[in-house]
Protein backbone atom coordinates (compact mmCIF):
# COMPACT_ATOMS: atom_id res chain seq x y z
CA UNK A 1 0.00 0.00 0.00
CA UNK A 2 0.94 3.66 -0.30
CA UNK A 3 1.28 4.00 3.49
CA UNK A 4 3.69 1.06 3.67
CA UNK A 5 5.80 2.46 0.83
CA UNK A 6 6.08 5.85 2.56
CA UNK A 7 6.99 4.19 5.87
CA UNK A 8 9.69 2.07 4.23
CA UNK A 9 11.06 5.10 2.39
CA UNK A 10 11.28 6.98 5.70
CA UNK A 11 13.20 4.10 7.28
CA UNK A 12 15.67 4.07 4.39
CA UNK A 13 16.07 7.86 4.62
CA UNK A 14 16.80 7.78 8.35
CA UNK A 15 19.29 4.95 7.82
CA UNK A 16 21.08 7.00 5.15
CA UNK A 17 21.25 9.99 7.51
CA UNK A 18 22.63 7.75 10.25
CA UNK A 19 25.43 6.54 7.95
CA UNK A 20 26.41 10.03 6.83
CA UNK A 21 25.83 12.58 4.09
CA UNK A 22 25.78 12.18 0.29
CA UNK A 23 24.51 8.61 0.11
CA UNK A 24 21.39 6.61 -0.58
CA UNK A 25 20.11 3.42 1.04
CA UNK A 26 17.63 0.83 -0.21
CA UNK A 27 15.02 -0.42 2.23
CA UNK A 28 15.23 -4.01 3.40
CA UNK A 29 13.30 -6.03 5.95
CA UNK A 30 16.14 -5.84 8.47
CA UNK A 31 15.50 -2.10 8.84
CA UNK A 32 11.89 -2.70 9.83
CA UNK A 33 12.96 -5.34 12.33
CA UNK A 34 15.62 -3.04 13.79
CA UNK A 35 13.06 -0.27 14.29
CA UNK A 36 10.64 -2.67 15.97
CA UNK A 37 13.39 -3.95 18.28
CA UNK A 38 14.39 -0.41 19.15
CA UNK A 39 10.82 0.57 19.97
CA UNK A 40 10.41 -2.52 22.15
CA UNK A 41 13.66 -1.76 23.96
CA UNK A 42 12.57 1.82 24.62
CA UNK A 43 9.22 0.64 25.99
CA UNK A 44 10.91 -1.96 28.19
CA UNK A 45 13.31 0.70 29.48
CA UNK A 46 10.45 3.00 30.46
CA UNK A 47 8.81 0.16 32.37
CA UNK A 48 12.15 -0.73 33.98
CA UNK A 49 12.51 2.83 35.29
CA UNK A 50 8.94 2.77 36.67
CA UNK A 51 9.37 -0.66 38.29
CA UNK A 52 12.90 -0.06 39.60
CA UNK A 53 14.49 -2.98 37.80
CA UNK A 54 18.02 -1.56 37.85
CA UNK A 55 20.66 -2.67 40.35
CA UNK A 56 24.25 -1.66 41.07
CA UNK A 57 27.14 -4.06 41.33
CA UNK A 58 30.35 -2.86 42.93
CA UNK A 59 33.67 -3.86 41.38
CA UNK A 60 36.67 -3.50 43.73
CA UNK A 61 39.67 -1.32 42.89
CA UNK A 62 42.73 -3.12 44.24
CA UNK A 63 46.15 -1.61 44.94
CA UNK A 64 48.78 -3.46 42.94
CA UNK A 65 51.56 -3.50 45.53
CA UNK A 66 49.62 -4.36 48.68
CA UNK A 67 46.58 -6.16 47.28
CA UNK A 68 44.33 -4.00 49.48
CA UNK A 69 40.93 -2.80 48.31
CA UNK A 70 41.12 0.95 47.74
CA UNK A 71 37.59 1.57 46.51
CA UNK A 72 34.77 0.39 44.27
CA UNK A 73 33.36 1.19 40.85
CA UNK A 74 29.55 1.25 40.64
CA UNK A 75 28.31 -0.76 37.63
CA UNK A 76 24.66 -0.74 36.59
CA UNK A 77 22.79 -3.90 35.64
CA UNK A 78 19.22 -4.31 34.43
CA UNK A 79 17.37 -7.23 36.02
CA UNK A 80 14.96 -7.94 33.17
CA UNK A 81 12.91 -10.91 34.29
CA UNK A 82 15.18 -13.90 34.72
CA UNK A 83 18.17 -12.40 32.91
CA UNK A 84 20.67 -9.66 33.57
CA UNK A 85 21.12 -7.05 30.82
CA UNK A 86 24.54 -5.41 30.57
CA UNK A 87 24.83 -1.61 30.14
CA UNK A 88 26.26 -1.89 26.64
CA UNK A 89 22.89 -3.23 25.52
CA UNK A 90 20.74 -0.39 26.83
CA UNK A 91 22.72 2.77 27.74
CA UNK A 92 22.71 4.17 24.19
CA UNK A 93 18.94 3.75 23.97
CA UNK A 94 18.57 5.36 27.40
CA UNK A 95 20.56 8.38 26.19
CA UNK A 96 18.57 8.69 22.96
CA UNK A 97 15.22 8.59 24.78
CA UNK A 98 16.22 10.85 27.66
CA UNK A 99 15.79 8.01 30.16
CA UNK A 100 19.46 8.34 31.08
CA UNK A 101 18.29 11.21 33.31
CA UNK A 102 16.31 9.16 35.84
CA UNK A 103 18.65 6.18 35.42
CA UNK A 104 21.69 8.39 36.08
CA UNK A 105 19.97 9.90 39.12
CA UNK A 106 19.35 6.41 40.49
CA UNK A 107 22.96 5.34 39.92
CA UNK A 108 24.49 8.40 41.54
CA UNK A 109 22.12 8.42 44.54
CA UNK A 110 22.70 4.71 45.11
CA UNK A 111 26.48 5.02 44.84
CA UNK A 112 26.49 7.93 47.30
CA UNK A 113 24.35 5.91 49.73
CA UNK A 114 26.74 2.96 49.39
CA UNK A 115 29.74 5.20 50.08
CA UNK A 116 27.96 6.68 53.12
CA UNK A 117 27.34 3.16 54.41
CA UNK A 118 31.03 2.30 54.04
CA UNK A 119 31.95 5.44 56.00
CA UNK A 120 29.56 4.58 58.83
CA UNK A 121 31.20 1.15 59.10
CA UNK A 122 34.62 2.76 59.41
CA UNK A 123 35.77 2.59 55.78
CA UNK A 124 35.82 6.30 54.95
CA UNK A 125 39.06 5.82 52.99
CA UNK A 126 37.29 3.73 50.32
CA UNK A 127 36.06 5.80 47.38
CA UNK A 128 33.13 4.81 45.15
CA UNK A 129 33.34 5.84 41.50
CA UNK A 130 30.45 6.39 39.07
CA UNK A 131 30.49 6.51 35.27
CA UNK A 132 29.16 9.75 33.77
CA UNK A 133 27.23 9.95 30.51
CA UNK A 134 27.48 12.86 28.12
CA UNK A 135 23.85 13.75 28.91
CA UNK A 136 24.64 14.13 32.62
CA UNK A 137 27.68 16.27 31.94
CA UNK A 138 25.56 18.52 29.71
CA UNK A 139 23.33 19.49 32.65
CA UNK A 140 23.44 23.23 33.27
CA UNK A 141 23.29 22.53 37.01
CA UNK A 142 25.88 19.73 36.89
CA UNK A 143 28.04 20.76 39.87
CA UNK A 144 24.96 21.71 41.93
CA UNK A 145 23.40 18.32 41.16
CA UNK A 146 26.56 16.51 42.27
CA UNK A 147 26.83 18.57 45.46
CA UNK A 148 23.13 18.13 46.35
CA UNK A 149 23.25 14.33 46.05
CA UNK A 150 26.45 14.08 48.08
CA UNK A 151 24.97 16.25 50.82
CA UNK A 152 21.69 14.31 50.85
CA UNK A 153 23.57 11.02 51.32
CA UNK A 154 25.64 12.47 54.16
CA UNK A 155 28.91 11.38 52.57
CA UNK A 156 32.17 13.30 52.25
CA UNK A 157 32.97 14.46 48.69
CA UNK A 158 36.39 12.77 48.74
CA UNK A 159 34.58 9.42 49.01
CA UNK A 160 33.07 9.92 45.53
CA UNK A 161 34.79 9.66 42.14
CA UNK A 162 33.39 10.53 38.71
CA UNK A 163 34.54 8.56 35.67
CA UNK A 164 34.45 10.21 32.25
CA UNK A 165 35.72 8.91 28.92
CA UNK A 166 38.12 10.82 26.70
CA UNK A 167 35.56 11.16 23.91
CA UNK A 168 32.97 12.71 26.25
CA UNK A 169 35.53 15.04 27.82
CA UNK A 170 36.89 16.27 24.48
CA UNK A 171 33.41 17.08 23.19
CA UNK A 172 32.91 20.73 24.25
CA UNK A 173 36.25 20.56 26.05
CA UNK A 174 36.30 24.08 27.49
CA UNK A 175 32.80 23.85 29.01
CA UNK A 176 33.44 20.33 30.34
CA UNK A 177 36.73 21.34 31.94
CA UNK A 178 34.97 24.19 33.75
CA UNK A 179 32.30 21.84 35.10
CA UNK A 180 34.78 19.22 36.23
CA UNK A 181 36.96 21.81 37.92
CA UNK A 182 33.88 22.95 39.87
CA UNK A 183 33.22 19.47 41.28
CA UNK A 184 36.92 18.93 41.97
CA UNK A 185 36.79 22.03 44.18
CA UNK A 186 34.14 20.21 46.19
CA UNK A 187 36.66 17.44 46.83
CA UNK A 188 35.35 14.92 44.29
CA UNK A 189 37.99 12.96 42.37
CA UNK A 190 37.86 12.79 38.55
CA UNK A 191 38.84 9.61 36.70
CA UNK A 192 39.68 9.63 32.97
CA UNK A 193 38.25 6.34 31.69
CA UNK A 194 39.27 4.12 28.74
CA UNK A 195 42.61 5.90 28.32
CA UNK A 196 44.50 4.69 25.26
CA UNK A 197 41.54 4.22 22.92
CA UNK A 198 40.56 7.77 21.98
CA UNK A 199 42.34 11.10 21.80
CA UNK A 200 45.14 9.90 24.09
CA UNK A 201 47.78 12.57 24.24
CA UNK A 202 50.10 12.33 27.20
CA UNK A 203 51.06 15.94 26.54
CA UNK A 204 47.73 17.34 27.73
CA UNK A 205 47.31 15.16 30.86
CA UNK A 206 48.68 17.86 33.17
CA UNK A 207 46.19 20.37 31.75
CA UNK A 208 43.06 18.27 32.31
CA UNK A 209 41.03 18.38 35.55
CA UNK A 210 41.64 14.70 36.34
CA UNK A 211 43.21 12.88 39.29
CA UNK A 212 43.33 9.27 38.08
CA UNK A 213 43.89 7.71 34.64
CA UNK A 214 42.19 4.39 33.92
CA UNK A 215 44.08 2.46 31.24
CA UNK A 216 41.72 0.66 28.88
CA UNK A 217 41.34 -3.08 29.44
CA UNK A 218 42.40 -3.81 25.86
CA UNK A 219 46.00 -3.43 27.07
CA UNK A 220 45.37 -5.88 29.90
CA UNK A 221 43.56 -8.44 27.76
CA UNK A 222 46.66 -9.09 25.64
CA UNK A 223 49.02 -9.67 28.56
CA UNK A 224 50.21 -13.26 28.35
CA UNK A 225 49.04 -13.65 24.73
CA UNK A 226 51.03 -13.61 21.52
CA UNK A 227 50.78 -9.82 21.23
CA UNK A 228 51.82 -9.24 24.84
CA UNK A 229 51.31 -5.56 25.74
CA UNK A 230 53.00 -5.62 29.15
CA UNK A 231 55.88 -3.38 28.10
CA UNK A 232 53.54 -0.84 26.50
CA UNK A 233 51.21 -0.85 29.50
CA UNK A 234 54.17 -0.45 31.84
CA UNK A 235 55.45 2.52 29.85
CA UNK A 236 52.03 4.21 29.92
CA UNK A 237 51.77 3.73 33.69
CA UNK A 238 55.25 5.21 34.18
CA UNK A 239 54.37 8.28 32.09
CA UNK A 240 51.11 8.77 34.01
CA UNK A 241 53.03 8.68 37.28
CA UNK A 242 55.53 11.20 35.92
CA UNK A 243 52.60 13.52 35.20
CA UNK A 244 51.78 13.37 38.92
CA UNK A 245 48.62 11.28 38.44
CA UNK A 246 47.48 7.90 39.69
CA UNK A 247 46.93 4.99 37.30
CA UNK A 248 44.33 2.24 37.34
CA UNK A 249 44.63 -0.78 35.02
CA UNK A 250 41.20 -2.04 34.01
CA UNK A 251 40.34 -5.69 33.51
CA UNK A 252 43.00 -7.35 35.69
CA UNK A 253 41.33 -10.70 36.32
CA UNK A 254 44.12 -13.14 37.22
CA UNK A 255 47.42 -13.36 39.08
CA UNK A 256 49.49 -13.44 35.88
CA UNK A 257 48.10 -10.09 34.72
CA UNK A 258 48.59 -8.60 38.19
CA UNK A 259 52.26 -9.60 38.26
CA UNK A 260 52.90 -8.24 34.79
CA UNK A 261 51.28 -4.92 35.70
CA UNK A 262 53.53 -4.54 38.69
CA UNK A 263 56.68 -4.87 36.58
Q: How many helices and strands, by DSSP H and E, does the chain display?
A: 11, 8
Query: HEC states along 61-97?
Result: EECCCCCCEEEEEEEEEEEECCEEECHHHCHHHHHHH
Give 43-59 pLDDT, tens digit per residue.
Answer: 899 999 999 999 999 99
Nearest CA-CA partner of 109 in 92, 135, 123, 128 = 128
What is the predicted pLDDT for the residue at 147?
97
* Cβ–Cβ < 8 Å for 245, 211: yes
Which tens digits make up the pLDDT trace of 122-176? 998 999 999 998 888 988 999 999 999 999 999 999 999 999 988 788 778 888 8
For 205-259, what is each residue's pLDDT tens digit? 777 888 888 877 766 665 555 455 567 667 777 777 777 778 787 755 545 445 5
Least confident of 11-20, 21-30, 131-140, 218-227: 218-227
* Mean pLDDT, all residues of the chain: 81
Mean pLDDT to the nearest integer, 4-25? 65
- Report the alpha-carbon distance of residue 154 to residue 120 in Å, rounded: 10
Distances from the Cα of 29 to the Cα of 26, 34, 89, 97, angstroms: 10, 9, 22, 24
Non-local (6+) Cβ contacts of 81 within 8 A are none
Yes or no: say if 229 and 222 are a contact pair by the CB < 8 Å rule.
Answer: yes
Q: Looking at the whole model, is its pTM more than 0.85?
A: no
Per-residue model confidence (pLDDT) at position 47: 93
Closest CA to 106 of 61, 60, 153: 153
Sign of CA dihedral 111, 65, 125, 135: negative
Amino acid sequence: TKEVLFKNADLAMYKAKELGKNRYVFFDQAMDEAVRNKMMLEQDLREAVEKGEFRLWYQPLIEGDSGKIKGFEALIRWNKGSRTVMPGDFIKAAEETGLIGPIGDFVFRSACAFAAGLSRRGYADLAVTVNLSVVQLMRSDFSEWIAANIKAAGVEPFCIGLEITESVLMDSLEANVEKLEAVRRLGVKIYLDDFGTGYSSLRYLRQLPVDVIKIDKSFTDDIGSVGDDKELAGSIIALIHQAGLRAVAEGVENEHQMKKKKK
